[in-house]
């Protein structure tokens, strides 16, 4: 029996088992096919970017590890992204930070950046069947410090306001070019190592900055505002907390970004989804994996990810939830990190799509809580992996662990030769 024949045989058995529960596996595959993940470009180069300023990361974030083969320029970054994409089923997006502009070796400060600096990215993405999302970049700059959009110094604050305005403009042009709105994520690290004398002061400044930034309406981009619990060296106070952005998003109709690494480890990010869907237009996800802090470990198929995927599917909210990845692990092969995280996220959504929602809701409505819990436990041993293998086969990407050898070969031939 060939491997392909074995996959098809296992899929047939799985299809019959799920059908007995009222689940159409082909419908689940079709739904998964339509889920476009937004890959984060910064995994391939440790959030270095192309500003030619050098230096280390600042602004409360940190990359750990120094595995050989980091992308050193725009061509290497693009090659690595395409290589990673070749192992990921489906058509996906690419999320760029502003520091990844095609600056052609010129120094372009962040309050001077324009759409022209991302024109080659737009063309490249279109040629490769990808669409773009965007992020303003407040960290790792001489004017970053501890405060940007919440800075009492008008010169510094206005610098970052202008930067963010230009990022929205760039996002709008991206959206026009690709005929699909670009998600423009705004995250600033603003905070304090110790508790400030007046918390309200800085949050009022941030609100005023946001109001000015969002005063220009656009049609081909969507604004997302991202909270954080704390940053390294800024542990006691974060201006843009979850409460701040939840209030701002609900009041002003903005999309709130839920980064799964930006909350206390005992919080359930999945539980926040249904509330946000009631009061904000859409949700942006940054899927990460925190270990004791926002350490941006590679996403794996764990309970937190499963809960998040199930909640989105149960809410029938795929059309209102945008799924991006956000981690940067430099301790292992960076392309492998891409592939592991993306495939894990897809596996979580596939299992959620294979859940017999109608049956579970019927049990619940009839007060049959034993039956509901029993079914949820039995689902854990259902042959979802056979459906996953078929999904990969249909998309002509490696099945099972076959991608490992391909990534090893690329490392041997390409990334290991980078100094």
Catalytic residue annotation = 187, 226, 228, 259, 262, 286, 294, 296, 326
Nearest to 408 by CA among 347, 349, 333: 333
Using a CB cutoff of 8 Å and minimum separation of 24, what contacts does 395-402 make?
395/33, 395/89, 395/90, 397/86, 397/87, 397/88, 397/89, 398/87, 399/3, 399/7
Burial of 379 (0-12, 13-18, 19+ CB in 10 A): middle
Contact status, residue 254 vs residue 83, Cβ threshold 8 Å: no
Residues whose CB falls within 8 Å of the CB of residue 417, separated by 6 or more in sequence, listed in order? none
Q: What is the largest CA-CA distance in the chain?
A: 72
Q: Give the separation between CA 331 and CA 46, rounded to whole angstroms.
A: 10
Q: Give the separation between CA 43 and CA 57, rounded to whole angstroms.
A: 14
CA distances from 285 to 12, 217, 269, 273, 305 (A): 34, 23, 10, 10, 11
């Amino acid at each position: 029996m060939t491997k392909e024949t074995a996959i098809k045989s296992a899929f047939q058995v799985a299809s019959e088992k799920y059908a007995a529960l009222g689940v159409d596996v082909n419908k689940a595959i079709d739904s998964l096919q339509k889920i476009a993940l937004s890959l984060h470009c910064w995994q391939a180069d440790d959030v270095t970017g192309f500003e030619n300023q050098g230096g280390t990361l600042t602004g409360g974030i940190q990359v750990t590890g120094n595995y050989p083969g980091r992308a050193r320029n725009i061509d290497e970054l693009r090659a690595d992204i395409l290589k990673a994409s070749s192992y990921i089923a489906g058509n996906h997006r690419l999320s760029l930070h502003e520091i990844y502009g095609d600056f052609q070796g010129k120094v372009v400060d962040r309050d001077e950046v324009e759409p022209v600096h991302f024109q080659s990215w737009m063309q490249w993405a279109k040629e490769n069947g990808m669409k773009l999302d965007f992020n303003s970049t407040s960290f790792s700059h001489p004017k970053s410090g501890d405060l940007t959009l919440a800075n009492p110094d008008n010169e510094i604050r206005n610098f970052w306001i202008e930067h963010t305005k230009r990022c929205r403009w760039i996002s709008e042009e991206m959206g026009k070019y690709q005929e699909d709105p670009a998600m423009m994520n705004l995250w600033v690290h603003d905070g304090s190592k110790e508790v400030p004398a007046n918390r309200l002061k800085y949050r009022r400044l941030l609100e005023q900055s946001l109001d000015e930034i969002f005063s220009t309406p656009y049609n081909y981009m969507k604004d997302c505002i991202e909270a954080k619990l704390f940053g390294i060296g800024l542990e006691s106070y974060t201006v843009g907390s979850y409460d701040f952005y939840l209030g701002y998003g609900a009041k002003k109709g903005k999309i709130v970004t839920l980064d799964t690494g930006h909350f206390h480890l005992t919080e359930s990010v999945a539980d926040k989804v249904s509330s946000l869907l009631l009061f904000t237009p859409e949700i942006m996800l940054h899927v990460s994996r925190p270990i004791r802090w926002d350490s941006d470990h590679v996403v794996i198929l764990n309970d937190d990810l499963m809960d998040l995927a199930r909640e989105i599917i149960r809410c029938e909210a795929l059309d209102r939830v945008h799924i991006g990845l956000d981690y940067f692990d430099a301790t292992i092969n960076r392309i492998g990190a891409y592939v592991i995280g993306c495939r894990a996220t897809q596996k979580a959504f596939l299992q959620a799509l294979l859940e017999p929602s109608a049956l579970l809701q019927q049990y619940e409505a009839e007060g049959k809580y034993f039956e509901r819990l029993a079914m949820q436990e039995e689902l854990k041993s259902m042959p979802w992996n056979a459906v996953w293998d078929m999904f990969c086969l249909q998309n002509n990407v490696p099945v099972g662990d076959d991608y490992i050898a391909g990534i090893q070969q690329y490392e041997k031939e390409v990334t290991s030769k980078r100094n």
